[in-house]
Amino acid sequence: MNFSRTLLTKLEHAGSVCALTGAGISAESGVPTFRGDNGLWSKFKPEELANFDAFIRNPALVWEWYSYRKKVMRDVRPNPGHEALVSLERMVADFTLITQNVDNLHRRAGNKNVLELHGNIERSYCIDCGRFVHDVVIAEKGRVPACEHCGGLVRPDVVWFGEFLPQEIFADAEQAARRADVFLCIGTSAVVYPAASLSLIAKEAGSYVVEINVERTDLSSRFDETVLGKAGDILPSLIREFRSLKEPHP
């Protein structure tokens, strides 16, 4: 793979690296993306499923969707793209992995410094008393999990449209973006805010911003480089080249 000399040099001298990931990095594990022809939302409308009003209107429908996705995510494994980011974390002094994904695959792969902007599908909480509910069994069709303390409705601990992102996590992500020498924007359509703003914040703060995606996005023209291809091919290859710079063969 031919990476630009600038990217490799920037990476070689970077004290701080940040990666922002989206659904595209998990696509090769078998998790459907949201948008696009085979995206989840070619079959389900976001306004019907990914917002609080929709949940209150029809919790059974929303749980059916999340139960299906919980099952998909439970049964898949991290792919070479996730694994490459684990290697990168081990090679860089200050590495932050910011993800919009709720699938837990970065942690399962072994990344330690992970900031989940949109929550985690493996957790749920009661909308009345706020208690976390662990191990919500995958709800059967038409069944809605109830809180065992107060009987309230239990919802997945994910961020829906119109809801604030977890403020401390977003603040940490913003700081990591600002101090990054190199910022990798991987497998995201970059249309959902405020997550998409992080690449722009990094760019404005002087970071070298590189997008890795199978196609160009609305923000491509704002970045330093777009490397076109699958994250599961590009990232391992980038790590190989980076490693050979750090540990030159005699």
Is 54 a residue that touches Zn ion (CB under 5 A)?
Answer: no
Q: How many residues bind Zn ion (CB under 5 A)?
A: 7
Is 60 a residue that touches Zn ion (CB under 5 A)?
Answer: no
The answer to whether the peptide bond before residue 80 is cis (omega within 30 degrees of 0) is: no
Nearer to Zn ion, 141 or 149 (CB): 149
Tokens in use for 43? 């079959």
Closest CB to ligand BJW: residue number: 24
Sign of CA dihedral 111, 115, 121, 122: positive
Binding site for ligand BJW (CB under 6 A): 22-24, 27-28, 33-36, 39, 50, 100, 102, 118, 158-164, 187-189, 191-194, 213-215, 217, 230-231
Nearer to Zn ion, 46 or 152 (CB): 152
CA 195/CA 76 separation, integer angstroms: 25
What one-character-per-residue DSSP string does 231-245 give? Answer: HHHHHHHHHHHHHHH
* Residue 218 touches which of ligand BJW, Zn ion, none (Cβ within 5-8 Å per kind): none
Q: Specify whether 118 is catalytic.
A: yes
Tokens in use for 60? 């059974």
Catalytic option among 118, 134, 149, 249: 118
Sign of CA dihedral 173, 178, 183, 184: positive
- Count of CB atoms situated within 10 Å of the CB of 201: 19
Is 136 a residue that touches Zn ion (CB under 5 A)?
Answer: no
Contact pick of 1, 60, 150, 191 for Zn ion (by CB under 5 A): 150
Catalytic residues: 118
